[in-house]
Chain A
Amino acid sequence: MVNVTIDGNTIQVPERTRILDAARLVGVRIPTLCYWEGLNEIGACRVCVVEVEGYDKLFTACNNTVADGMVIRTNSPKARQARRTNVELILSEHNSNCATCVRSGSCELQAISQELNIRDLPFEKKIPAKKQTGSFPLVRDYSRCIKCMRCIQVCDKIQSSNIWDVVNTGAKTTVDVRDAYTLEDSSCALCGQCITHCPVGALHERDDVDRVIEAVGDPDRITVCQIAPAIRTAWGEPFGLTPELATVERMCKALKMAGVDYVFDTNFSADLTIMEEGSEFLNRLSASDARLPMFTSCCPGWVRFLKAHYPEFTENLSTAKSPQQMFGAVAKSYYAELLGVEPEKIFCFSIMPCLAKKHECAIPVLNDACGQPDVDVSLTTREADRLISLFNIVPAEIPEQPLDMPLGVGSGAGNIFGATGGVMEAALRTAYALVTGKNPDPDAFSAVRGMEGWKECAFDLGGKTLKIAVAHGLGNADKLLKAIKKGEVSYDFVEVMACPGGCVGGGGQPIHAQKFCAPERAEVLYRQDAAMALRFSHENPSITEIYRSYLGEPLGERSHHLLHTDHRAWKMPSEE
């Protein structure tokens, strides 16, 4: 233990305590900007500088530790002036047209500028002129980047994707795409983690809200919306709603008020995925020449990553489409028939915690229902919230409304798709029933839950021991693939979700500065699952009905046509 004095308060702290953390112990929150605990502790913005007695120079609190007898002043005139100057300098290169910035209100630079009471700048503003061209789902705004380097760090250290890097030196230093000139040509998985780690509006999704608004206002189109499992854990956050209030039914009401014709649940098609993917897995297990392990294919970020970096494993991916795409295919076939309309009249959009879904729905081969895209537009949670705001709806003050039928019914198994381990758990619940003819305890496979990056389990399935693995975060997926490749591990079934924590931590979810929200959001999904009467995908009455009246059998001819895909039918840039 060492004694330190911070702003006049003397305390004992363990050796090598960071100045930032020691200050918190005496009730002082030293402002930071580029810092992200454990990920970006590089002292780049120089906002957290403090004065240490005995030294003329200031030191950053985020990456320096206390020493015995150290006397620190976090807000001395010198520290305050330097901090202010540094924020002013950052602002001089930042497009601070906040009124039109997507991050206004959740911007960390805006917050610190307000905190420091900065009203005008003593410097001439010089805003980088470079603009991103094209229509990639991930957009980088060069005029807003403050070079905090968080995007580089999360992409390298957490996602092992290495898409971003520092380019140029001196005054021209900026962040740009590595090994390619555009994101389109890069191996970007579209996980969107760089967005949720960006302190400002320099990274955001391509905004597709207007396309939905246009469809909603078009009397000739029937708008059909699907809501992904993870949305119900987070959509209410910007409105100040607790998860208990931010139900999928309340979101349904808001969307209906905005003019959406039918609101359904992606949990339904998650259950459908389990039927198809589960059956495919059992087939692969019994076939002598099938590729194992089978990889889940629900997460398009993961599919993009695998195809870009490990294309040799493409055939290990389940051929089952993701729940988003299964829903679209069903909406424009089965549901169009139920409505008695031409499928082309239907405008199907999804609300997803995800950017990769924007790419996925636009893959040209995913048009199996009628030749048009099965899903027309995919919105992120954030865009959906903006849509609701745009219609001046106050979510806290509106009632709930049940989802439409029959595609609005999902099981608890479908519900947990939004958290790491959820797809595996849902699949095992149904696979057990398919193999043994009786349902397991719905919580029998809960060992796959939790935030450990790479989980392994073995389960008994009708006398055969099944070895499974679950990974989340592409860095963990990368390690897992390397280990499989080297023959260090072997599994029968592997679930991967690109984002840390799974979709609940998705790159399209609401942003909270320097906070990893996935663990508590995942808890919401598991609580909802536990409270549901329907906990098995194969017991979902709408699923039973669609197979009885339309699809026939899982892996049957119609299922094959509508619900499965060939992952080799499109290419990542590195595959070409």
Chain B
Amino acid sequence: MSRLSIVTVNRAQETVEELYKDAERRIQASQPGLCPVDLAATFVHICHAQSCGKCTPCRIGLGSLEGLIGQVLEGTATLETLDVIERTARSVFVSADCAIGQEAARMVLKGIRGFRDDYEEHVLHGRCLGVQNQPVPCVALCPAHVDIPGYISLIYEGRFADAVALIRKDNPLPSTCGLICEHPCEVRCRRTMVDDPINIRGLKRFACEHEGEIPTPKRAEATGKKVAVIGGGPSGLSAAYYLSLMGHSVTVYEQRKKPGGMLRYGIPSYRLPREALDHEIEGMKKAGFEIRCGVSVGTDVDMETLRSEYDAIYIAIGAHTDRKIGIEGEDAKGVISAVEMLRAIGDDEYPDYSGKKVVVVGGGNVAMDVARSAVRLGAAGVTVVYRRRKIDMTALPEEVEGAIADGCEILELHAPLSIEKNEAGEVDAIFLQPQIVGPVKWGRPAPVNAAQTPVRMECDLVLVAVGQGIDSQKFGDYGIPVKRGSILAAESGEIENMAGVFSGGDCVTGPATVIRAIAGGKVAAANIDEYLGFHHEIEANVELPRIRFDDHEPMGRVNMTERPAAERRCDFGLMENCMTGEEAHQEASRCLHCDHFGFGIFKGGREAKW
């Protein structure tokens, strides 16, 4: 008889481990619009299966809760039942012996409080609130509703120009998005249920790089209407592009030297090369709109003049002002805002950081952009200081990992306290208060001052990336409604009591993503067209290939590769490599075609035009 033995995993347990992973991926790919009450019943059922069975509340109570929620779903419950559910869940929560029972009951409580309306709708009317809507996940989650399954099928067939033409129907900045889109389309990709989400952004980039010359789009007959677009960023350019296609005469007013907005003045070229951006904007201009750079509305030309000269106006001025940390010494020389630094780079004015020790304050994507740019500008050391944990950073994980690979240090759980200046008023050091991760607030663990003394970190430059504001004051003065800097516009882009004036993009939403800005421009174009008394339709006229059959055997996702860190950190050249043709073909073959297979063929599938 051996005294000890090595624990081996049996086949059943191995299979269960795999099933856990399957279930995890399934939950990750859950489509929006599911019945929350049904899900609550399902979750409590899973929790119940985890019960060891020792204690009453968990062994019996969870089953009772599932039964009660089941009555709600079956339409046999009353409003009194909801009180019983809440009372029982509360008792299980406080009396269960371990987390298995306690947390299960907490989930039930969270639900009955968080979506009580849905519970009541089931009790009173036997149905969910709202109408079932399970559209194609990628298309639904793309703010511009690009026909993703459509263009992926074209990439599979090698019809790259057609694929890009189809993208342009909904998004006139495909190359840009191929390089830097945050790809919300991938978040709930149904392929995740099989293995991993499709690399949609990577496929888009591949198609754009193989498009050939950007074709001149067909314009509708001239309408004689004039539209002014204020701001030459992604939102303004998108609106200008579609409005031009609709036959309107469009002029874009851009206050900086070149168009592009944050694409040029906010995103460093190692992510979005200037040549790619210029090529894209030149291609867009084939739609026939004019861009006047170096003209600031409110300074060089006023709103009254624009309103009298144009039939409609789209305000898309973005969010370009910097935010301060609000600490002592922030006025020191060498404290530079991310906006300021990236703007200079946008105009090809590259500062020299050789030998400098740089501290970056912030944890978002912009913080990563300035940190990685600082490396490329020759900094001797770059440290990103963040008051929460690295895992809590709002920057995309791959951006954080990329920054580390580029040589940046991440100093998590340190909050800036003050900046120390020398006699010349230059930055000498930054004082940081160590933090301890604390209780969860609003879904994120909040940092709390740790019982440690502040640390002093010597540095020559402090780059501040703690958010951006909107320079909307001139528009507020003119009478445009503004709240906390943001312009108040309806979901249609319309501005109340300001006929013919529309607004969208970052200046309405606050700093967001390029694809949301593009969607804002697209929405505004459609509604400006209606406002002007037209109903032009934008379509691609691309015939899609026959729907392909596939058994969808699990297959790995093709991820993007990057130039080696040692090489890329020395220049501002594009960091990411494109997929190969072989990779793109294989990746495109993984698409499940949710526009054809599933709910998409019934409702919420392909929109051939808008």
Interface flag for A443 (CB, 8 Å) = no
Supposing A168-B132, A172-B73 touch, asked if A59 and B549 sit within 8 A by C-beta, the answer is: yes
Instruction: List, in ascending order, chain A residues with CB within 8 A of B76's CB.
Output: 129
Instruction: List, in ascending order, chain B residues with CB within 8 A of A65's CB.
Output: 546-547
Interface flag for B75 (CB, 8 Å) = yes
Q: Give the interface segment out of A50-58, A256-264, A425-433.
A: A50-58
Shortest CB-to-CB span from B603 to chain A, Å, is 8
Instruction: List, in ascending order, chain A residues with CB within 8 A of B33's CB.
Output: 169
Q: Which of B66-125 contact A (CB under 8 A)?
A: 73-76, 125
**What's the A-B contact tally at a CB cutoff of 8 Å?**
64
Decide: A55 and B131 in contact? CB cutoff 8 A: no
Interface flag for B19 (CB, 8 Å) = no
Instruction: Report the separation of the CA atoms of residues A178 and B131 in the bound assembly, to the nearest whole angstrom.
Output: 8
Complex: chain A residue closest to B35, CB-CB = A169
Supposing A42-B601, A56-B551, A169-B35 touch, asked if A181 and B132 sit within 8 A by C-beta, the answer is: no
Decide: B602 and A149 in contact? CB cutoff 8 A: yes
- Chain B 597-610, CB-CB to A under 8 Å as 1, else 0, gives 00001110000000
Instruction: List, in ascending order, chain A residues with CB within 8 A of B34's CB.
Output: 169-170
Shortest CB-to-CB span from B589 to chain A, Å, is 14
Supposing A57-B551, A165-B132, A176-B127 touch, asked if A63 and B75 sit within 8 A by C-beta, the answer is: no
Q: Which of A153-174 contact B (CB under 8 A)?
A: 165-173
Instruction: Report the separation of the CA atoms of residues A129 and B74 in the bound assembly, to the nearest whole angstrom.
Output: 8
Instruction: List, in ascending order, chain B residues with CB within 8 A of A44's CB.
Output: 602
Shortest CB-to-CB span from A317 to chain B, Å, is 28
Instruction: List, in ascending order, chain A residues with CB within 8 A of B552's CB.
Output: 57
Interface flag for A43 (CB, 8 Å) = yes
Decide: B128 and A167 in contact? CB cutoff 8 A: yes
- Chain B 47-83, CB-CB to A under 8 Å as 1, else 0, gives 0000000000000000000000000011110000000
Supposing A130-B75, A169-B132, A172-B38 touch, asked if A15 and B546 sit within 8 A by C-beta, the answer is: yes
Instruction: Report the separation of the CA atoms of residues A409 and B126 in the bound assembly, to the nearest whole angstrom.
Output: 52
Shortest CB-to-CB span from B194 to chain A, Å, is 12
Instruction: Report the separation of the CA atoms of residues A129 and B546 in the bound assembly, to the nearest whole angstrom.
Output: 42
Decide: A165 and B131 in contact? CB cutoff 8 A: yes
Decide: A129 and B602 in contact? CB cutoff 8 A: no
Complex: chain B residue closest to A156, CB-CB = B603
Decide: A168 and B551 in contact? CB cutoff 8 A: no
Instruction: List, in ascending order, chain B residues with CB within 8 A of A172's CB.
Output: 35, 38, 73, 128
Interface flag for B418 (CB, 8 Å) = no
Decide: A170 and B549 in contact? CB cutoff 8 A: no
Interface flag for B586 (CB, 8 Å) = no
Q: Which of A9-60 contact B (CB under 8 A)?
A: 15-16, 41-44, 52, 54-57, 59
Shortest CB-to-CB span from B113 to chain A, Å, is 21
Give how many B residues have a beta carbon under 8 Å from the other chain's beta carbons: 25
Instruction: Report the separation of the CA atoms of residues A268 and B554 in the bound assembly, to the nearest whole angstrom.
Output: 71
Interface flag for A64 (CB, 8 Å) = yes
Instruction: Report the separation of the CA atoms of residues A59 and B601 in the bound assembly, to the nearest whole angstrom.
Output: 14
Supposing A67-B546, A130-B126 touch, asked if A166 and B132 sit within 8 A by C-beta, the answer is: yes
Decide: B127 and A173 in contact? CB cutoff 8 A: no
Decide: A55 and B602 in contact? CB cutoff 8 A: no
Decide: B128 and A169 in contact? CB cutoff 8 A: yes
Shortest CB-to-CB span from A90 to chain B, Å, is 17
Instruction: List, in ascending order, chain A residues with CB within 8 A of B74's CB.
Output: 129
Instruction: List, in ascending order, chain A residues with CB within 8 A of B127's CB.
Output: 167-168, 176
Instruction: List, in ascending order, chain A residues with CB within 8 A of B126's CB.
Output: 130
Interface flag for B134 (CB, 8 Å) = yes
Instruction: Report the separation of the CA atoms of residues A42 and B601 in the bound assembly, to the nearest whole angstrom.
Output: 6
Instruction: List, in ascending order, chain A residues with CB within 8 A of B132's CB.
Output: 165-169, 173
Instruction: Report the separation of the CA atoms of residues A67 and B549 in the bound assembly, to the nearest whole angstrom.
Output: 10
Shortest CB-to-CB span from A14 to chain B, Å, is 12
Instruction: List, in ascending order, chain A residues with CB within 8 A of B603's CB.
Output: 166
Shortest CB-to-CB span from A542 to chain B, Å, is 51
Decide: B38 and A170 in contact? CB cutoff 8 A: yes
Decide: A169 and B601 in contact? CB cutoff 8 A: no
Decide: B549 and A64 in contact? CB cutoff 8 A: yes
Complex: chain A residue closest to B128, CB-CB = A168
Instruction: List, in ascending order, chain B residues with CB within 8 A of A67's CB.
Output: 546, 549
Complex: chain A residue closest to B533, CB-CB = A486
Instruction: Report the separation of the CA atoms of residues A167 and B603 in the bound assembly, to the nearest whole angstrom.
Output: 13
Instruction: List, in ascending order, chain B residues with CB within 8 A of A169's CB.
Output: 33-35, 38, 128, 132, 134
Instruction: List, in ascending order, chain A residues with CB within 8 A of B35's CB.
Output: 168-170, 172
Instruction: List, in ascending order, chain A residues with CB within 8 A of B547's CB.
Output: 64-65
- Chain A 253-287, CB-CB to B under 8 Å as 1, else 0, gives 00000000000000000000000000000000000
Decide: A55 and B546 in contact? CB cutoff 8 A: no
Shortest CB-to-CB span from B75 to chain A, Å, is 6
Shortest CB-to-CB span from B387 to chain A, Å, is 41
Complex: chain A residue closest to B605, CB-CB = A42
Instruction: Report the separation of the CA atoms of residues A167 and B125 in the bound assembly, to the nearest whole angstrom.
Output: 11
Decide: B131 and A166 in contact? CB cutoff 8 A: yes
Shortest CB-to-CB span from B43 to chain A, Å, is 13
Decide: B131 and A167 in contact? CB cutoff 8 A: yes
Complex: chain A residue closest to B132, CB-CB = A166
Complex: chain B residue closest to A129, CB-CB = B75
Q: Which of A293-329 contact B (CB under 8 A)?
A: none
Decide: A52 and B551 in contact? CB cutoff 8 A: no
Q: Which of B517-566 contact A (CB under 8 A)?
A: 546-547, 549-552
Instruction: Report the separation of the CA atoms of residues A446 and B35 in the bound assembly, to the nearest whole angstrom.
Output: 54
Q: Which of A78-108 contact B (CB under 8 A)?
A: none
Shortest CB-to-CB span from B119 to chain A, Å, is 14
Instruction: Report the separation of the CA atoms of residues A73 and B547 in the bound assembly, to the nearest whole angstrom.
Output: 19
Shortest CB-to-CB span from B607 to chain A, Å, is 15
B residues in contact (CB < 8 Å) with A: 33-35, 38, 73-76, 125-128, 131-132, 134, 546-547, 549-552, 596, 601-603
4 pairs of A and B residues whose beta carbons are closest in the complex: A166-B132, A42-B602, A167-B127, A169-B35
Q: A55-B551, A167-B131 are in contact. List 17 more A-B contacts (CB 8 A).
A: A15-B546, A41-B601, A42-B601, A54-B549, A64-B549, A67-B549, A129-B75, A165-B131, A166-B131, A167-B127, A169-B33, A169-B35, A170-B34, A170-B35, A170-B38, A172-B35, A172-B38
Query: Can you list 5 A-B contacts with CB-CB less than 8 angstroms, sorted by A residue number?
Result: A15-B546, A54-B549, A165-B131, A168-B38, A168-B132
